[in-house]
Amino acid sequence: MSEGNSSDEDFPEEWILYADREEWKDIQPLKQDDGENPVVMIQYSEKFNDVYSYLRAVISKQEISHRALKLTHDAATLNAANYTVWQYRRVLLKALKCDLWDELEYIDAKIQDNPKNYQVWHHRRVIVEWLNDASGELKMTEDILTLDPKNYHAWQHRQWAIKTFDLFDDELSYVDRLISEDLRNNSAWNERFFVLKHTGFNAEVLEREIQYVITRIRLVKNNESPWNFLRGLLQQGEGKLGQFPEVVEFCEELYDSGIRSPYLLAFLVDLYEEQYFEAKQAGRDPEGFKGKVLEMCESLAAQHDQIRCAYWRYIAENFKRKIGGEGETNQNGI
């Protein structure tokens, strides 16, 4: 059994070691075996050694009892990340036919104290599955996300509950509130696309969402998430970046007004490459689009996304290979 760093902060001063409890005299504690020559000896606290020694003992005996359940409570208090503690606790809950609603309250408190701990979230999911009732999950995750809007575990649990129990109805409203409060809430943008993906795209939804994201990009132009959201929308339908004229007009309007967000320029690179091949296929002169692709790549490499200059020069060279001509290169290789 693997333990983590111990913490005695949540134990009352009058807490008694299991070794000193009369009702535990029948159990021979099992000390942790680190081998004869451990490389690093972890200095666990006295309480930690005491609790986990008794936990090993009852697990080895597969004891099913309320005292063992209480022991898992103390073990989880010392180390909420220990998988074995929670697994054994679930065995006990089921065997003892415990009130799972009480357990839900208990694990809610544990999550409040350990909001970024995978094991506590997994335990809650199992209890919700056993109850077959996710009526409290949206409120619970909302409370956590109020404290930390980017808590991955909370979002993952929320998406699981929504998808498993079909709780999509009001999620777009919730996400809209989060985005309105913080346009840079990347997790909220991801959640919005998650909802749309599972509820379905049609022409009306695409038009609505394109206007939604365009309005918000106008407010914050240098945020990657809404640009990714826009790309995701355009992959629906015909799957072309230029399938909606208002999107092309919007992006070119931003560029013409002097906006040089790397996300705008990257979008234009892909858009103009798409338009180059469409023009060529239609028998129109594509050279104007070729120039724009190379111009955007150079702008990104030399000035607006210098950290990825090698990438953008690769994109430019790859584009030239695809169109079948080496073309002229400048001193920067474009």
Domain coordinates of the chain in residue numbers?
1-98, 111-167, 260-334
The vertex-173 CA angle with 120 and 147, nearest 5°, equals 40
Model confidence at 153, pLDDT cuts 50, 70, 90, reads very high
Contact 145, 154 (CB under 8 A): yes
pLDDT, average across residues 216-234: 96
Choose the catalytic residue: 61, 97, 116, 139: 116
- Round to whole Å and give the CA distance between 29 and 56: 7
DSSP assigned state of 305? S
The vertex-95 CA angle with 91 and 97, nearest 5°, equals 115
pLDDT, average across residues 254-278: 97
pLDDT for residue 37 is more than 70: no
Residue type, 261: S
Residue type, 326: E
pLDDT for residue 35 is more than 70: no
Return the higher-pLDDT residue of 333 and 142. 142
| Domain covering 1-98 in this structure, CATH number | 1.25.40
pLDDT, average across residues 265-281: 96
What is 16-69 written as a DSSP string? --GGG-GGGTT---------SS-SS-----HHHHHHHHHHHHHHHHT--SHHHH
pLDDT, average across residues 133-162: 97
The vertex-284 CA angle with 283 and 287, nearest 5°, equals 125
pLDDT for residue 209 is more than 70: yes
Is 116 among the catalytic positions? yes
SS3 of residue 14 by DSSP: coil
The fraction of the chain above a pLDDT of 70, given in percent, is 91
> What tokens were used for 40?
């690093």
Q: What is the pLDDT of residue 332?
A: 47
Whole-model pTM: value is 0.87
DSSP assigned state of 301? I
Model confidence at 2, pLDDT cuts 50, 70, 90, reads very low
